[in-house]
Chains A and B, each alone.
Chain A
Amino acid sequence: MGKPLIYRSPMPGFGLSMGITLTMLSIIVLLPIGALLLKGASFGIGNIWETVNRDRVWGALLLSFRLSLLAALFNLVFGVLLAWVLVRYRFPGRRILDAAVDLPFALPTAVAGIALTALYAPNGAFGSIAAEAGWRIAYTQWGIFIALVFVGLPFVTRTVQPVVEEIEREVEEASATLGASRFHTLRHVILPMLTPAALTGFALALARAVGEYGSVIFIAGNIPLVTEIAPLLIVIQLEEFNYDAAAAIGIAMLLISFAMLLAINLIQVWSRRRIGHV
């Protein structure tokens, strides 16, 4: 009874490929994560809670989460627009624009961090314009928001783009023939088709932003309770060789990531049921 654990296959290399896969997965990913959890276990749940349940830590976690949510929402709207423009419209420079979307993936985060800081600092190109209006961007939460928008930019566009390419024009034609305005068609026919992919991209951008470090620390100013992000707290604890506290905050962040991973999977299951594919 029951399904066999492994089905017989004529393919060669079962032992070798399984060995390499599981060994590397264990040494590089699973054992280190296990070491973090073990450290947490030896520190004790009570102590972890005591470490995390401080204003400064809550402040950093909530700040990271809130600004990541706002940045991911911005990217949701802008990303869908970008995907639509890139697939549907033909205009000079479209290919360059399409390639530019991936730059945040390719550009090292430290480079993005110092570049954005140079732009938005009070004496920078954009920062000086904002400063005249009495608006400070770098070293405030606005700066963090902009850095998080930058790193999350490609996710929604890249998940939505293939779906826009697959939309059959007949559906839109049918909608138009039945008397729907273009706006009505976009709102009630196209948008529902894009929703699952857009939500997946949104969740990916959010997960990326919550853990982001390199592009943020330069522009953030890093003032506790105001512009201090959660990953920075871990770095600060490690610099003081306070491994227990670092592990406690690390576990809190790991739990948040796992919750988001679960959410992404649920979105995909939900949309597969609803649409048939993501």
Chain B
Amino acid sequence: MSDAATTPAIPLRAATDESPLVRRILIAIAVSGLGILVAAPLIVVLAEALAGGWAAAVASLSHHDAWSAIRLTLLIAIIAVPLNAAFGISAAWFITKFDFRGKAFLITLIDLPFSVSPVVAGLCIVLMFGANSLAGGWLAAHGLPIVFAVPGIVLATLFVTFPFVARELIPVMIEQGRAEEEAALTLGASGWRTFRTVTLPNIRWALLYGVLLSNARAMGEFGAVAVVSGKIRGQTATMPITIEMLYNEYLSVAAFSMAALLTLLALVTLLLKGALELRHAGQLAAHRVQ
């Protein structure tokens, strides 16, 4: 009884809210849009992988070409991601701890790979290190072929993932300033010790975040790798390249089973990324006004 007296018939809303109807419509557009664009492809990958049952999917993944693709992709990531992290830390240290002319230009150069098509990136690697090029010819003559071999895939992967870690670390390190490091140095710590005990703990979550993103890209890169790999089955075919080859041979279950593995990797990446954002949002560069 008394409820009717205190609750108005039409719920009041703040002047800074949209009407409930508008709100529902916008939420419905967002949910259905993401459902069609993002959820549907995910579901279709799993459905197509299991179209012939679990046994067929597992059998296609235990084929030795599939195994060698998985091993190669892991190998590429194990080489490329730490190199990318080492570069990212060096570049962020150089850019945020010192003042020099041309800093903005250097940052632009580091970001450059983001605006170059992966196919053009692969083309650049081929022209630089291919058997017909100066550098590639010399290296191949000395027993280190780059293009159509693993080193070329690593270089292409490094190209496309180049800015990931640096981009994540630079804003965080600018915000933290230099005072803590200066204090440590004044107290007599060596440069290396200062980095390890002062800087690294401050940037570890941002570093992990950047590593996560660059790992996802390293394992999934297709365009740049397609150009440099030569697509030699069992030798230079990574997981994404194998997906293409299987798909073009109409081996749907095998292609989608391999795709499902990479989809799981993507989901794990998103999960870890979400956990980092939830717990350490203050120490990450993402989700900030740049």
Q: How far is the CB of B172 from chain A (nearest CB, A)?
A: 15
* Pairwise interchain contact B117-A12, C-beta atoms closer than 8 A: no
- A111 close to B124 (CB less than 8 A): no
| Distance of A4 Cα from B27 Cα, bound (Å) | 55
Majority DSSP secondary structure for residues of A touching B? helix
Select one of B39, B83, B127, B181 contacting A39, CB under 8 A: B127
Shortest CB-to-CB span from B280 to chain A, Å, is 16
Within 8 A of B (CB), among A234-255: 234-235, 238, 243, 246-247, 250, 253-254
Cα A114 to Cα B222 in complex, Å, equals 13
Tell me if A14 and B270 are in contact (CB < 8 A): no
Closest to B118 in A: A213
Known: A119-B40, A218-B247, A258-B115. A13 touches B30 (CB 8 A): no
Q: Known contacts A100-B39, A119-B40: does B34 contact A5 (CB below 8 Å)?
A: no
- Contacts A111-B243, A182-B18, A253-B120 given; indicate if A91 touches B44 (C-beta within 8 A): no
B128 shortest CB reach to chain A, Å: 4
User: Which B residues are in CB contact (< 8 Å) with A108?
Assistant: 219-222, 239-240, 259, 262, 266
CB distance from B147 to the nearest CB of A (A): 10
Interface residues of B in 176-211 (CB under 8 A from A): 178, 181-182, 185, 190-192, 194-195
Residues of chain B within 8 A (CB-CB) of A246 are 123
Say yes or no: A211 contacts B195, CB within 8 Å. no
What residues on A are CB-neighbors of B178 within 8 Å?
A: 11
**Chain A window 8-47, contacts with chain B (Cβ cutoff 8 Å), 1 for yes, 0 for no:** 0111111011101100110011111111101100000000
A1 within 8 A of B: no
**Band of interface residues on B:** 35 or more
Across the interface, do A107 and B220 meet the contact criterion of CB distance under 8 Å?
yes
In the complex, which of the residues A97, A158, A214, A258 contacts B30, with contact meaning CB atoms closer than 8 Å? A97
Q: Is the CB of B259 within 8 A of A114?
A: yes
CB atoms of A107 and B132 under 8 A apart:
no
The answer to whether the Cβ of B31 comes within 8 Å of any Cβ in the partner chain is: yes
What is the distance, in angstroms, from A99's C-beta to the closest C-beta of chain B?
A: 5
Q: A11-B97, A111-B220, A112-B41 are in contact. Are A106 and B270 (CB under 8 A)?
A: yes
Give the distance to chain B from A187, nearest Cβ to Cβ, in Å: 13
Interface of B (DSSP majority class): helix
1/0 per residue, CB under 8 A from A, across B1-37: the answer is 0000000000000011111000100110111011011
Q: Flag the segment in B57-65, B85-93, B137-145 that touches A.
A: B85-93
- Closest chain-A Cβ to B286's Cβ sits at a distance in Å of 8
Measured CA separation A211–B223 after assembly (Å): 9
CA distance A207 to B118 in the complex (A): 12
23 contacts between A and B (CB under 8 A): A12-B190, A17-B94, A20-B90, A25-B87, A25-B109, A32-B127, A81-B26, A84-B26, A85-B30, A97-B31, A99-B271, A108-B220, A108-B221, A109-B240, A111-B263, A114-B45, A114-B243, A119-B44, A149-B37, A169-B16, A214-B240, A231-B118, A257-B120
A interface residues (Cβ-Cβ under 8 A, vs B) = 3-7, 9-14, 16-18, 20-21, 24-25, 28-36, 38-39, 78, 81-82, 84-86, 89, 91, 93, 95, 97, 99-116, 118-119, 124-126, 149-150, 153, 158-159, 161-163, 166, 169, 172-173, 176-177, 182, 185-186, 197, 207, 210-214, 218, 231-232, 234-235, 238, 243, 246-247, 250, 253-254, 257-258, 260-261, 264-265, 277-278
B residues with CB within 8 A of A: 15-19, 23, 26-27, 29-31, 33-34, 36-42, 44-45, 48, 83, 86-87, 90-91, 93-95, 97-101, 106, 108-110, 112-121, 123-130, 132-133, 155, 158-159, 162, 178, 181-182, 185, 190-192, 194-195, 213, 216, 219-223, 226-227, 239-241, 243-244, 247, 255-256, 259, 262-263, 265-267, 269-271, 273-274, 286-290
